[in-house]
């Protein structure tokens, strides 16, 4: 009988969150172990299904850096990075597009469809969703940054109950393709749709303090000090700055959570404690 009460308490704890998030748009950056390990992939699909059935509109943006590096290695092409950014040559860009838009994107959309979600795979090039240009004048080759967004196709998909699954390959008016960081694309999607939340699934607990403790809540105004003091470093710097940009553009809250935790999405959204770091404007 005690177990029954515990289950009821869990459901009651989730109730105000379910009410609050019903009808909201939530952008999810899907990457890391949650995207690679079969068990975590299955749980991710179930989490998205639960969110969808509870009236949330999920929008998924994915990366695939490890798979790109693996395919390039098989082809005998060495990956080059500058300041943590991949240098995308023309040869590399062909592999990036093949892996992200051709392989990973369709696999995620298909897997979600098998779990009861109407999902459609697309890239930033489809329906001119994003227009991109070379990052820092071509310093990183065909690694790009977003110039403008055209979110109408996403809005129409959401209106008819279809979950978009977006590859971060974008284009320009000349027909060129660009490899854009998936974190950046997730934030640009959120800004364009005026999303309620962005959630980053990562291979870390969240944002960690000087002593390795989890920083459960961070104000946007604190971010630059944390960077200057070395608390936030490496690849977390562009991610956290993208989070601040989202907040300053109207997104209500950003979360960085551990995608290695089973059902981390549901735990972050529907429990009082959560499982990661939240970044808020004030």
Q: Which residues are annotated as a binding site for substrate?
A: 64-65, 86, 179
Alpha carbon of residue 54 to chain centroid: 20
Alpha carbon of residue 281 to chain centroid: 19
Paired with 167 in beta bridges are 123
Q: Which residues are annotated as a binding site?
A: 64-65, 86, 179
The residue among 168, 166, 171, 180 whose CA lies nearest residue 125 is 171
Measure the CA–CA gap between 63 and 186, rounded to whole angstroms: 10
Structure-token pair, residue 85: 């950014």
The per-residue b/e assignment along 32-70, b for 16 or more CB within 10 angstroms, e otherwise, is bbbbeeeebbebbbbbbbebbebebbbbbbbbbbebbbe
Measure the CA–CA gap between 81 and 270, rounded to whole angstroms: 38
The residue among 255, 208, 202 whose CA lies nearest residue 40 is 202
Q: How far is CA 101 from CA 49, 51, 167, 218, 226, in A?
A: 22, 25, 6, 34, 35
3-state secondary structure of 88: strand
Sheet holding 253-258, edge to edge: 119-123, 163-167, 57-62, 25-30, 197-202, 253-258, 277-280, 217-219
């Amino acid at each position: 009988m005690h177990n029954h009460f515990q289950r009821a308490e869990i459901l009651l704890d989730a109730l105000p969150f379910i009410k609050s998030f019903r009808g909201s748009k939530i952008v999810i950056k899907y990457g890391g172990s949650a995207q690679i390990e079969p068990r975590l992939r299955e749980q991710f699909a179930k989490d998205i299904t639960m969110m969808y059935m509870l009236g949330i509109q999920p929008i998924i943006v994915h990366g695939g850096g490890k798979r790109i590096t693996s395919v390039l290695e098989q082809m005998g092409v060495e990956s080059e990075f500058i300041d943590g950014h991949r240098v995308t040559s023309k040869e590399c860009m062909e592999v990036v597009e093949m892996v992200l838009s051709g392989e990973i994107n369709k696999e995620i959309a298909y897997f979600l469809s098998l779990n009861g979600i109407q999902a459609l795979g697309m890239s930033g090039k489809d329906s001119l969703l994003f227009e991109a240009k070379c990052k820092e004048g071509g310093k990183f080759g065909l690694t790009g940054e977003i110039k403008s967004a055209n979110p109408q196709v996403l809005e129409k998909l959401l209106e008819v109950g279809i979950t978009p699954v977006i590859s971060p390959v974008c284009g320009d008016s000349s027909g060129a393709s660009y490899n854009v960081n998936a974190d950046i694309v997730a934030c640009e999607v959120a800004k364009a749709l005026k999303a309620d939340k962005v959630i980053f699934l990562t291979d870390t607990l969240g944002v960690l303090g000087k002593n390795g403790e989890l920083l459960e809540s961070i104000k946007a105004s604190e971010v630059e000090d944390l960077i200057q003091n070395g608390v936030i470093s490496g690849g977390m710097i562009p991610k956290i700055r993208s989070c601040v940009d989202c907040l300053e553009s109207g997104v209500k809250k950003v979360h960085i959570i551990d995608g290695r935790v089973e059902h981390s999405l549901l735990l972050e959204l529907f429990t009082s404690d959560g499982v990661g770091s939240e970044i808020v404007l004030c």
